[in-house]
């Protein structure tokens, strides 16, 4: 991509120089000479990045430099896991702020077609389950299903 950016930048720079020279030329008798000079400069500007040896038209499909194949399923799974981890940490912080002891918190979410996130369930392992469930519902929404995980 860097090579393509250099080529576009060179083309823009030479185009500006052509426009400036055209405006400043003393008479029409220099038209042919200016066209030839700037055509050569334009070609050099476009070809210089390609000739430097780093030119490649192989663009990565998923935007990464490793050229890996884009896999939507893996990306969705990673996104879902990251969202679940974030909501789990938020739930743990809420419980800590309310001074509710817990052993474990797990979260299950669903990402809809319109990219909205629904919290399916928050599971808690706590000796104060009812207090924890009410605290989470008050902070995250009344419609959240909170279930108890059996203590070991």
CB-facing half-sphere around the CA of 65: CA atoms within 13 A: 2
* Degrees to nearest 5, angle at CA 77 with 73 and 81: 175
Given this model, what pLDDT does residue 67 score?
45
More confident residue, 62 or 35: 35
Whether 95 and 136 have beta carbons less than 8 Å apart is answered as yes
The whole-model pTM stands at: 0.51
Instruction: State the first-to-last Cα distance of the chain, in angstroms, to the nearest integer.
Output: 55
E-strand spans in 78-129? 104-111, 117-125
As a whole number, mean pLDDT of residues 63-92 equals: 74
pLDDT attached to residue 93: 92
- Alpha-carbon distance of 62 to 52, in angstroms, equals 26
Average model confidence (pLDDT) for the chain? 79
Beta carbons of 123 and 106 less than 8 angstroms apart: yes
Residues whose CB is less than 8 angstroms from the CB of residue 99 and which lie 6 or more positions away in sequence, other chains included: none
Q: What is the mean pLDDT of residues 84-111?
A: 90
């Amino acid at each position: 991509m860097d090579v393509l950016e250099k080529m576009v930048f060179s083309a823009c720079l030479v185009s500006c120089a052509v426009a400036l020279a055209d405006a400043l030329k003393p008479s029409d008798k220099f038209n042919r000479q200016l066209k030839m000079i700037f055509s050569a400069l334009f070609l050099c500007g476009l070809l210089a990045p390609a000739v430097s040896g780093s030119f490649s038209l192989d663009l990565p499909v998923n935007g990464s430099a490793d050229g890996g194949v884009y896999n939507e399923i893996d990306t969705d799974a990673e996104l879902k896991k990251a969202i679940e981890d974030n909501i789990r940490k938020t739930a743990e912080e809420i419980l800590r702020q309310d001074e509710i002891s817990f052993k474990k918190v797990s979260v299950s979410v669903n990402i809809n077609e319109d990219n909205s996130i629904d919290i399916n369930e928050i599971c808690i392992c706590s000796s104060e389950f009812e207090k924890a469930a009410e605290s989470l519902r008050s902070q995250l929404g009344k419609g959240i299903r909170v279930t108890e995980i059996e203590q070991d």
